[in-house]
Amino acid sequence: MIELVLSAAGSQRVRFAISPLEEVLGAVQTLLGLRGHPAHLPWVAGAPSLDVPELTAVLSARHYITEFLSPPPAGPETTAEAQLRVVRETPPHQVALELAMVDADLSLLPDDPATARDLLADQLEIVWDALLAPQWPRLRELLAADIAYRTRQLGSGGITAMLAELHPQVRLTGTSVLVDVRSRERLEIDSRGLLFIPAVFAWPNVGVVTVPPWQTSLLYPARGVASLWTSAAAPPEPLAEVLGRTRALLLATLDVPAATADLAHRFALAPATVSAHLTALRAAGLLASDRSGHRVLYRRTALGDALLTGKL
């Protein structure tokens, strides 16, 4: 059990962030069969083989994955490039410390920590470019939707409401967040606060970053993974005739919140066209919108659900 004690200062600094490199690590572990929701099987079947033996060796560990390979993001939506710079700037003594904690055969790695770090960073970039970058708009959309949902919970019911359905292994007791994992640790959350990181490939695991100097972070499975690799259901034909096919398709898609740019990319439409349709659907009460950082996410309302299913 890990106990994260929320001090007066730390409890005011609960925030969320998207971590591209966490998805890289999770994707590799999913391909290794060490984790992964059954919903990822279509993605696994189409994933190319990659020659990254040293990274694979590190990620074959079952109990500890180095923190420096997916440094906690400094902002809500960092980029893979920014995180890779942090990886390559990690001091050699920190690399050596974390690699020594890995419960796996690392004999393939160079003995020099700086050389090992640079090799692993290069392989992270290879995996990102081949596996994650082509799918990133879709993954980012799902992660942003999760954060918008958790933020609404946090705003309406505080951290108690948000943690109540975050993960079965996470609960709040008094001023402490308890995480039911193998490690035994009690940690005071400092003034940087507690960072929550949703992850597409995390299921069924929850993880905690506690190794200094990284910000204390809690990684958890994002919502909506079950439909990630499936195509949006076609809207009912009568509804398409009334609303128009594009508006009906957008309405059918938005059971999982999404931003204008992501929808434009998914359906190969101009952002201005998508924006006009979303505005009309929202004005009719069929969609609602929430802000997540600099992005506005649209989601279907109860009225939109009823119209789509014909249960008005």
Domain ranges of the chain: 2-225, 231-309
Query: In the CATH hierarchy, which fold is given to the domain comprising 231-309?
Result: Arc Repressor Mutant, subunit A (1.10.10)
pLDDT digits (tens, 9 = 90+) for 79-123: 999 999 999 999 999 999 999 999 999 999 999 999 999 999 999
Higher pLDDT, 291 or 201: 201
Task: Please give the average per-residue pLDDT across 274-286, as a whole number.
Answer: 94
More confidently predicted of 281 and 33: 281
Residues present in the chain in total: 312
Pairing status of strand 217-221 against strand 2-6:
unpaired
Q: Is the peptide bond before 257 cis (omega within 30 degrees of 0)?
A: no
pTM over 0.85, yes/no: no
Tokens standing for residue 113: 């920590």
